[in-house]
């Protein structure tokens, strides 16, 4: 369903994807017999890309913090269709999963032994005109976000979201800008669609009139309404 939804959203014939995609269910990279079968299937198909989804469910490692075990699994992955690119999907650890610099679960062996690390996190400092209230996602290969890119340009892509279509979901992208300090203030104190006055916010935040009005008039997330009493409506 996910692949069909993505095809529908991007104008791609789903039969083209089906004809060029094979899903191997199960598998244990730490088991010799299982690895041999995976390699047999891969050699027959000669894929351009092999996706391991997820690393923890296929690695066969009981303790992810043991470097020797992780290194062995990485070497085994390289044996599968040696000329194909490999994409390993892995989870962040609990300490960093809700930050903008998520580190992979386990020790550093896995990120140290691959060419590229693309991290993903909830991008709460992002907004796109015309799409209010969306939950945005960002991905990065930059060091400040715990990413990695060997011998190439490092970058961060913002404006990703999980969009819905025809009962399914797919990853979508929209251009946009990061939230300013005043935008962030508005998201913390004014609900989407709410209309408030400066006096309302002075009372609820205990901040000065100059501070409140300064944020309201600087933020692109609100619209100033004229009338007997000036009010502000959050529109993004």
Q: How far apart are CA 188 and CA 157, in angstroms?
A: 24
For residue 142, give the 3-state DSSP assignment. Answer: coil
Sign of the dihedral through C-alpha 202, 208, 214, 220:
negative
> For position 164, what pLDDT does the model report?
84
Could you count the other beta carbons within 10 Å of the beta carbon of residue 70? Answer: 23
> For position 58, what pLDDT does the model report?
93
- Residues 6 or more apart whose CB falls under 8 angstroms from that of 157 comprise 138, 139, 140, 173
Could you count the other beta carbons within 10 Å of the beta carbon of residue 6? Answer: 19
Per-residue H/E/C for 179-210:
CCHHHHHHHHHCCCCCEEEHHHHHHHHCCCHH
Which residue positions in the chain have pLDDT lower than 50? none
> For position 101, what pLDDT does the model report?
97
> For position 76, what pLDDT does the model report?
95
Report residue 85 as tokens. 């690119």
For residue 99, give Cα distances in angstroms to 21, 69, 176: 34, 27, 20
Report residue 77 as tokens. 């992955």
State in Å, rounded, how far the first CA of the chain is from the last one.
31
Cβ-contact 182, 214 below 8 angstroms: yes
Q: Which pTM was predicted?
A: 0.76
Show the domains of the chain with their CATH numbers: 2-177 (3.40.50), 179-234 (1.10.10)
For 75-91, write each residue's pLDDT tens digit.
999 999 999 999 999 99
Q: Which helix (H) or strand (E) holds 169?
A: strand 168-173
Whether omega for the bond prior to residue 147 falls within 30 degrees of 0, making it cis, is no
Q: How far apart are CA 33 and CA 38, in angstroms?
A: 9
Cβ-contact 174, 9 below 8 angstroms: no
């Amino acid at each position: 369903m996910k692949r069909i939804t993505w095809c529908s959203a991007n104008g791609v014939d789903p039969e083209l994807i089906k004809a060029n995609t094979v899903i191997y269910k199960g598998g244990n990279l730490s088991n010799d017999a299982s690895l041999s079968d995976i390699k047999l299937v891969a050699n027959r198909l000669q894929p351009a890309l092999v996706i391991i989804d997820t690393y923890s469910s296929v690695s066969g490692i009981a303790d992810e913090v043991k470097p020797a075990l992780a290194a062995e699994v990485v070497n085994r992955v390289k044996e599968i269709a040696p000329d194909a690119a490999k994409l390993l999907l892995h989870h962040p650890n609990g300490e960093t999963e809700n930050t903008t610099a998520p580190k992979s679960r386990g020790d550093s062996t896995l990120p140290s032994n691959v060419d590229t690390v693309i991290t993903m996190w909830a991008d709460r400092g992002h907004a796109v005109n015309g799409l209010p209230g969306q939950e945005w996602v960002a991905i990065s290969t930059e060091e400040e976000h715990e990413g990695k890119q060997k011998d190439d340009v490092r970058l961060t892509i913002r404006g990703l979201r999980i969009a819905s279509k025809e009962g399914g979901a797919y990853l979508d992208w929209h251009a946009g800008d990061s939230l300013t300090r005043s935008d962030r203030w508005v998201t913390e104190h004014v609900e989407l669609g709410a209309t408030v006055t400066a006096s309302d916010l002075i009372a609820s935040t205990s901040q000065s009139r100059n501070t409140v009005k300064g944020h309201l008039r600087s933020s692109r997330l609100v619209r100033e309404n004229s009338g007997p009493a000036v009010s502000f409506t959050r529109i993004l």
